[in-house]
Each structure stands twice: as structure tokens, then as C-alpha cells.
Structure 1
Amino acid sequence: MHLHRHLPLLAILASTALAKSTLTTFEQIQQTLNTYPLAIDFKNGPLFTSVFTQDAFANYTGPLSNLTGIDAVREGLLASVAGLATQHQLGTTLIDIDEDSKEANSTTYFTANLVSVAPETAGSFTVLFGLYRDDLVETKEGWRISRRQLEFMTPNLGNLTLG
């Protein structure tokens, strides 16, 4: 199966009007969280608006600490995976929803596989293990992450200069 056949899926995910009318609040939040790996792995800058608020704050540690605003988050993350083939996988997720305030928070385990495609390091890889702690808010466009904190859970594997 060819990857380009699945690219229309990204447009569907970006359309929250349909999602808001057919999914529960929990499912809408899950859809937002699940869109993140597609945005970063496909290096799809516009799709980040389906994940983060305009004024989002994200701390991914190191050079990606204290990113403020969706432009900084998107540009920082996309720059960090330039020259890499990536696959982010989400695992166990707990979501706590405060329907009255239209806010939620979640904790999600992740594994990120990063493989260099740059000629000088081709084939080098890093595997990252951690969790995301997210605060989410309901916007007119749907649920979005307003604050993200990455926490590594174990030592990372492979060529750590890649991640």
C-alpha cells in the first residue's frame, strides 16, 4: 500500500466540524491527541493547527524547551525532525474532562522512533520513551492542546544526537 493513498486522511482529520457532530467529547480529545503523530511524522505544518491552540506552550526539553505559540511549536518540532524519518506511537492514555469549564488534561505514553536519512548518518536511529502531560481546551474549531510537557521515562536508545 502506498503512503500517498492515505494523505486525504490528513484533510479529514483537520475537519473538526464533522468530528464535533459525530464524536463524544472523549473521542474528540482522543482524535486531537492522535492527530499529533501524523502531523509530525508526515511533517505536515498546517495539521498542527488541529492539535495546538494558537497560544500553546510546549516543553519538549533541551532546545525544544519553552516553546510559546503555535508557530514556535510547529517550527521547532519540524526543525527537530528535519533529515529524519520518524514514527511516533501513542499508548496508554488517561483523559480527565471538566465539561463545565470546557477544559481537560491527559497523560499519554509515547514511543518515538527516529531514523536518519541524512547521508552522513543514514541508518542511525534513536528510540525515545516517555509521556506527554497535556492541558486541553475546547475551542470553536474543537479540542486543542494548550500546554504540553514531555517527560522521558527511561534512557533513550541509539544515536542520541538525533533526538
Structure 2
Amino acid sequence: MRLSQLLPTFTFLASALAQSSLTAWEQIHQTLNTYPLAIDFKNGPRFNDVFSQDAFANYTGPLANLQGIDAIRDSLLASVAGLATQHQLGTSVIDIDASGTNANSTTYFTANLVSVAGSTAGDFTVLFGLYRDDLVKSADGWRINKRYLEFMTPNLGNLTLG
């Protein structure tokens, strides 16, 4: 089976009724969990289900200080071009403010990157860290408005890939 045949349909995000039956915490968790699917399947439109239009992201290095969803999406997708990736999220703590319209979260991640092209084909990198996110609730649901990536341990493999 080809990877493209495994592409999730994301119908759960299209259903306002399904979203309305979730608690705010569950809705935020759903937003956070959509990110790995968007980047791993290189599905640009799904970034709209993760980030606010005016979002800011700092993934460090050449991916630092990305302003706006277009810059975030385009830079991240360019960074994984030629790579097969699998981002896995782990422990996540979500704190929603009293107004119910702002939240922050801290989420552990592991990212596996494998080169599938060129002279580095077969090389891999494993990244370990966490995302610190500020989220806002809009008419479209919860979206990340600010994201900061922090590496937690030495990364493994061919670090030029990540």
C-alpha cells in the first residue's frame, strides 16, 4: 500500500457538530494532533486547521521567527521536502484561561526524518523536544497563535536533514 493511500480524510475536522460535542481541552488536543498529520502527509491546507492566520513560530535555526500561516506552512513543507517524516506527540499539558478563549500547552515530541532522495537517501535524523504553544479560540475553533520549539536532548543521526 502506498503512503498516499493512507492519507487521512480529516472528516472529523469538517464536522461542526463533532467539534461542538468535544470539551475545550479535547478540541485543543485535536488541533495539536492535527499538526503531525499535516506535516507528515505534506498537506498544506491542513495547516489552516492548526495555526491562526497571524501565527508566529520559532522552530530554531533557519526556521526561526516565521510570521503568518503562509510563512509557517511554506517553510515547514520546504524543510521536509525529500524526506519521509513521522512526528509523534507524547505528554501534553493544556491550560485554558478563565475566559475560555486563550490557552497554552506544552507537548513532548519525537520527529523521525528519513532522506528519500539524492546522495543522502537512507540517512536519518531523530529529533527530541517539546512544543510550547499559545492557542486562541476563533469562530473556526482552537488554533496555535504562537509556537516555540525547544530541543531537549542531543539529536541523533545526520543532523543536516533536520
CA–CA distance in structure 2, aligned partners of residues 89 and 66 of structure 1? 23
Q: Structure 1 vs Structure 2: percent identity of aligned residues? A: 74
User: Compared with structure 1, are the counterparts of its residues 141 and 67 closer, same or farther at alpha carbon in structure 2 (3 Å cutoff)?
Assistant: same
Match of 2:79 in 1: 80
1:19 CA displacement? 3.5
CA–CA distance in structure 2, aligned partners of residues 93 and 36 of structure 1? 14
Match of 2:64 in 1: 65
Match of 2:17 in 1: 18
Match of 2:88 in 1: 89
The Cα offsets for residues 27-50 of structure 1, whole Å up to 9 and x where unpaired, read as 000000000000000000000000
* TM-score, normalization by structure 1: 0.94
Matched, 1:119 2:118: yes
1:66 CA displacement? 0.2
Match of 1:9 in 2: 9
CA–CA distance in structure 2, aligned partners of residues 134 and 16 of structure 1? 24
Match of 1:41 in 2: 40
SS of corresponding position for 2:7: helix
1:128-143 to structure 2, matched below 5 A, reads 128-143=127-142
CA RMSD between the two structures = 1.4
CA–CA distance in structure 1, aligned partners of residues 22 and 145 of structure 2? 21
Matched, 1:151 2:154: no
The residue identity in structure 2 corresponding to 1:72 is: A
1:118 CA displacement? 0.8
CA–CA distance in structure 1, aligned partners of residues 33 and 105 of structure 2? 12
Contact 2:96 2:102 in 1 (8 A): yes
**Structure 1 ranges of 4+ moved more than 6 A:** none
> Would you say how many aligned residue pairs link Structure 1 and Structure 2?
162
1:159 CA displacement? 0.1
Structure 1: 5+ residue stretches without partners? none
Instruction: Point out the more displaced range, 40-49 or 114-123.
Output: 114-123
Instruction: Point out the more displaced range, 93-102 or 134-143.
Output: 93-102
Match of 1:107 in 2: 106
